[in-house]
Amino acid sequence: MNVILLALGVLGVLGAIGSLVLYFVSKKFYVYEDPRVGQVEEVLPGANCGGCGFPGCHGMADACVKEKDASNSLGSLLCPVGGADCMAKVAGILGVEAGAAEPKLAVVRCNGNLECRPKLSTYDGVKSCAVAASTFAGETGCAFGCLGLGDCVKACTFDAIHMNPATGLPEVDEEKCVACGACAKACPKLVIEIRKKNAAKTPAVKRVWVSCINKDKGAVARKACSSACIGCGKCQKTCKFDAITVVNNVAYIDPEKCKACGMCVAECPTGAIHCTAAVQTVVEKLKAKKAADAAKAKEEAAKKAAEAAAAKAEAAKKAAEDAAAKAVDAVASKVEATKKAAEGAAAKAADVVASKVEATKKAAEGVAAKAADAVASKVEGVAAKATETAAKAAEATAKAAETAAKKVEEVATKVAETVAPKEK
Amino acid sequence: MKTFKLGGVHPAANKLSDKAPIEVAAVPVVVAIPMAQNLGAPSKAIVAKGDKVKVGTPIGEPGGFVSSFVHSSVSGTVDKVDVVEDATGKKVPAVFIKVEGDEWLENIDRSTDIKREITLTKEEIIAKVKEMGIVGMGGATFPTQVKLMPPPTAKPQCVIINAVECEPYLTSDHSLMLAHPEEICIGVQILEKAMGVKKAYIGIEANKPDAIKLMTETAKKGYPEIEVVPLQLKYPQGGEKQLINAVIGAEVPSGGLPIATGALVQNVGTAFAVYEAVQKNKPLIERVVTVTGKSVAKPSNFLARIGVPIQQLIDAAGGIPEDAGKIISGGPMMGKAMPNTNSYMVKGCSGILIMKNDDARRKEASPCIRCAKCVHACPMGLQPNFLAKYAEKNMLDKCEEERIYDCIECGSCSFSCPANRPLLDWIRQGKPKVMGILRARAAEAKAKAEAAKAAAAAK
């Protein structure tokens, strides 16, 4: 009996000591935790997957409470497994507005597929965009566009982005993407942007974006890719909401200002601006109207042009007639003047020649006489010959003068002749 | 025969053009001289459309402390300042000049007489080297005047000339030595004067016996302080740190500068350019470039003007052969494959190699089996298998721990890997990231120290 009592007593004392120690230790090493964290954790899925970016559901709950205290909202926190419903419950517990954050999406801003952006060389290195980007400017003529090696696909943990082998470009699955930003960070060319999913208040998803980030001059960009943004600015001029800016030869649509009306899509000459299906129908209508308007305008312009052309033709005809008459008169008077001048010149020339002939004749005679004397004084036989030759020389000179005079007359007549046909 | 201690590989030398004498390349109709031809800040264009230039007219000034002058290599009229593609296809600013005749600036001495007397002082030499746009001709294009002004903690002991040319196929340094041995020696003496040292070495790999003989004889005749050191044939003997280790047996401290060992290393082409700059007043406007390849019709060494279209040089060597796979600017180990031939000759391009398709194709990579052939090959004593994996996984703290910043990117690891793993490609991703972190850390520490100083001074 004593043994039993003793045993009970010892155990009891040990138990009491143990409980005292536990009590004091629990008090000393007590970790205060916000009770809300436990409450939030209750409504989370409990999968501890880390998809939210925090260590397990406890970490997410902790983050939610901290975010609420910091910004009185849930910020961009999202449990991808629980989804919007789960976040609504969390919001309810913490007393904040759920879903205040605008749903976002990863958008690929390159539309240079294998057809419109031809490859000019072949990359033979590691199949990684980061490595390729630091090795060279790219296989195509565009040094800014998607390299197609899939770093974004590797980075995504939600199976929301995949390479399309037909186009060589990545495509985002709208249902699965949670806009965590991993693909945008992984892309070395900064092609992917996290943008607002829906610009309109409608359930139909309306979204417009410029699918190009090429900063080269328009002609260079167009040469490399037929659907590049050439920085022409037509979209900027069209936009009624001031949402488009063109900087460094490339347009950018501000997702906060854009109302997804689709007018810029219809205006873009290269097809660089892309939109969702809901906007595309509007764009088709706009394009049709534009074409119709353009056709009408063309018709009217053609009509006007025809009228103007006819009027011009009349005026031109008149002007031509007047000018012709004037020309005839001018030519006629010129012919007269030229004729007179030619005659005067011919007369002058004839006089000059005549006087020259005289002088030459006289000189020749003088020379001949001299020669005759000289020769006569020396030898009589030679003197006779000399006089003969002298006389001949005189005759020849006279003839030459005559032919000269004749030629002058011929020239004068020719001049008169050439002037006469000029009349015509 | 001397060599470096750690690692190294033995690629086939393929020195197809080592018997080809230097051929002067024709001056083209249009040249495009890029403004970024050196390590550091790119140069700024100082000419505009319509300006008349002669050979040697400065057309670009330094864009920072680590930058250099660029000079016109032709005479004519500036057509435009626009962009051209560099060897990697990236668009860079350049000055286009329409060539008219071949008129040089009057103060450039074009005679071939060898000028032996060095009349400039140490400071004047450094200023001249800067003015004449001299950069490292081995390919790194580090502005030479910056290298000639080491930090005050450095104590220069000797000059080591890098005439190793360990890259397979390239023979531009080899042909330069055979053509101008004495000018090179005078250039070395100018460098000695600039650094205030009395000893110089010229390191030449053993596969250039004619150059070793000629340089040794020339040095013996008039330049006794220059010692020609024949080196064992092993890649990358031409690496600065490996050359210092082989020639004077010193080791550059990890993360440190080579001048810490007391040795100033310069490429032999740079020494020749320094001679021409200081003795002949000639700026850096042309260089020897090897155009080669197994299927190239006429592997040659051209003396080409800066700004000459690459396509022209390839045509002069016989054009692009049928079986061409890759056209590489530089050598097969560290060169860059060009996506097209739209680029122009620059100061740092020592070779254009056209590799056959079969030789140039990368093979399929398979998993690492930890054979450590890469570790055995690494001349810096690193572990490339780990460095590549850490860099791929972006584990930058591990990269730093394994000293990725000591990697000289020689490619010996990729060359020796039996699984064809792209080791250097991944290391090249991680190295700049880690160096950026180190720089930021140093800047932060400096700022903190200065703030503490200011606070202490205020007290």
pLDDT tens digit string along B30-83? 999 999 999 999 999 999 999 999 999 999 999 999 999 999 999 999 999 999
Helix (H, G, I), strand (E, B) or coil at A78: coil
Q: In the numeric block, which tokens belong to residue A156?
A: 């995504």
User: What's residue A383's pLDDT?
Assistant: 63
Q: Which residues of A touch B339 (CB under 8 A)?
A: 120-121, 136-139
Mean pLDDT of B168-177: 97
A contacts of B91 (beta carbons < 8 Å): 137, 143, 216
What span, in angstroms and rounded, lies between the C-alpha atoms of B275 and B252? 28
Q: How far is CA A223 from CA A17, A137, A218, in A?
A: 87, 16, 9
Residue A119 has pLDDT above 80, yes or no: yes
Q: Which residues from chain B sit within 8 angstroms of residue A134, using beta carbons? A: 428-429
- Position A392 pLDDT exceeds 80: yes
Q: What's the pLDDT score for residue A31? A: 87
Question: Is A210 in contact with A253 (CB distance < 8 Å)?
Answer: yes
Residue A379 confidence (pLDDT) above 90: no
At A377, the pLDDT band (50, 70, 90 cuts) reads confident
Sign of the CA dihedral B162, B168, B173, B177? Answer: positive
For the residues of A218-264, what is the DSSP string, one character each? Answer: HHHHHHH-TT------HHHHH-TTS-EEEETTEEEE-TTT-----HH
Residues 192-231 of A with CB under 8 A from B: 216
Residue whose entry in the numeric block shows the structure tokens 């939109």 = A275
The amino acid occupying position B318 is G
Backbone angles phi, psi at B359, to 5 degrees: -70, -35
Question: B29, B61 in Cβ contact below 8 A?
Answer: no
- In this predicted structure, the answer to whether residue B12 has a pLDDT above a threshold of 70 is yes
Q: Is B424 on the interface with A (CB under 8 A)?
A: no
CA distances from B260 to A11, B65, B146, B241, B256 (A): 75, 21, 15, 11, 7
Radius of gyration over every alpha carbon of chain A, rounded to an integer in angstroms: 53
B91–A137: do the CB atoms touch at under 8 Å?
A: yes
The stretch A196-212 carries a mean pLDDT of 90
Please give the residue of chain A at the shortest CA–CA distance from B336: A135
Q: Does B88 touch chain A (CB under 8 A)?
A: yes
Which residue among A124, A128, A139 sits closest to B361, beta carbon to beta carbon? A124
B403: region left, alpha or beta (phi > 0 left; psi from -120 to 50 alpha):
left
Q: What is the mean pLDDT of chain B?
A: 96
User: What confidence category does residue A219 fall into, taking pLDDT thresholds of 50, 70 and 90?
Assistant: very high
Distance of CA A220 to the CA centre of its chain: 7
| The CATH homologous superfamily of the domain defined by B106-280 | NADH-ubiquinone oxidoreductase 51kDa subunit (3.40.50.11540)
From CA A313, how far away is CA A200, in angstroms rounded?
56
Task: Give φ, ψ of B422 to 5 degrees.
Answer: -80, 65
> In sequence order, what E strands does B10-151 have?
22-24, 30-34, 44-45, 52-53, 58-61, 70-71, 76-85, 91-99
Using N-to-C axis directions, what is the helix angle for B172-179 and B181-195, rounded to 10°? 100
Output the average pLDDT for chain A. 88
- From chain A, the residues in CB contact with B422 under 8 A are 125-126, 131
One-letter amino acid at B263 equals A
Which stretches within B379-422 are classed as H helix? 384-392, 396-401, 412-416
Q: Residue A419: what pLDDT? A: 62
State pLDDT tens for residues A222-260.
Answer: 999 999 999 999 999 999 999 999 999 999 999 999 999
C-alpha count within 13 angstroms, C-beta hemisphere, residue A320: 6
Say which amino acid occupies A149: L
CB A210 within 8 A of CB A267: no
Confidence of residue A414 (pLDDT cuts 50, 70, 90): confident
Average pLDDT over residues B90-112: 95
Q: What is the Cα–Cα distance from B381 to A34, expressed in whole angstroms? A: 53
Kindly determine whether residue B88 and residue A124, on different chains, have CB atoms separated by under 8 Å: no
User: In chain B, what percentage of residues exceed pLDDT 70?
Assistant: 100
State yes or no: pLDDT of A422 exceeds 60: no
A412 dihedral zone (left: phi>0; alpha: psi -120 to 50; beta): alpha
| Residue A213 token pair | 């980030």
Within an 8 Å CB–CB cutoff, is residue A118 touching chain B? no
Between these two residues, A394 and A20, which has the higher pLDDT value?
A20
Residue A421 pLDDT > 60, yes or no? no
What percent of chain A lies above the pLDDT cut of 70?
96
Tokens 């280790």 identify what position? B245
Mean pLDDT of A329-356: 86
Angle at the Cα of A392 (from A386 to A398), degrees rounded to 5?
A: 140
Residues in B touching A120 (Cβ below 8 Å):
339-340
Separation between Cα atoms, residue B214 and residue B182, nearest integer Å: 10
Sketch the domain layout of chain B as residue ranges: 106-280, 373-451
Q: Which is nearest to A361 in space by CA: A406, A408, A393? A: A393
Phi/psi at A384 (nearest 5 deg)? -60, -50
Q: Quick: pLDDT tens for B209-225.
A: 999 999 999 999 999 99
Mean per-residue pLDDT, A347-356? 84
| Confidence at A75, pLDDT banded by 50, 70, 90 | low
Are A250 and A213 contacting, i.e. CB atoms less than 8 angstroms apart?
Answer: yes
Q: Are residues A267 and A236 in contact, defined by beta-carbon separation less than 8 angstroms?
A: no
The pTM for the full model equals: 0.78
CA distance B131 to B358: 45
Shortest Cα distance, chain B CAs vs residue A121, angstroms: 6
Amino acid at A234: K
Element (H, E) at A4: helix A2-28
Dump the DSSP string for A95-163.
T--TT-SPPEEEEE-----TTTS-B-S---S-S-HHHHHHH-S-SBS-SSS---S-HHHHH-SSS-EEE
pLDDT score, position A424:
47
pLDDT tier for residue A367 given thresholds of 50, 70 and 90: confident
Which residue has better confidence, A77 or B157? B157
Dist. CA B143–CA A385, nearest whole Å: 103
